[in-house]
Structure 1
Amino acid sequence: MGDCEKTWMKKVPKTDKSDPKRLKKDLPKVLKLFKPEDRILLVGTSRCPFESEIRVWLVLPEDDPDTQTRLCLTTKVTDGYTQKHIVTACQQVLTDRRVTQLAKRPLVASEFIPPLARIDPIYKEEEEAFKTWYAKTPLGKKEAKAAEGVTKMTARGRKERKEARKAKRERRRSRLLLEK
Structure 2
Amino acid sequence: MNENTLLLDLITYFGKFPIKEGVLKLFNRNATLPGYDELKQVINNMETHSLVPDIKDFACGVNEQVLKKQINNFSGIYLFIDYGAIAIDKDEIQRENGSFNIGVTVAVPFDHENRDAIESMLLAQQTLNLLIAIREKMKGDQKCGVAWMKDLTFPHDISPWEHKDLNNSTGWTMLFTKKGINII
TM-score (structure 1 length as normaliser):
0.25
* Richer in helix (by share): 1
Which one has the bigger strand percentage?
2
Select the structure of larger CA radius of gyration.
1
Give TM-score, length-normalised by structure 2: 0.25
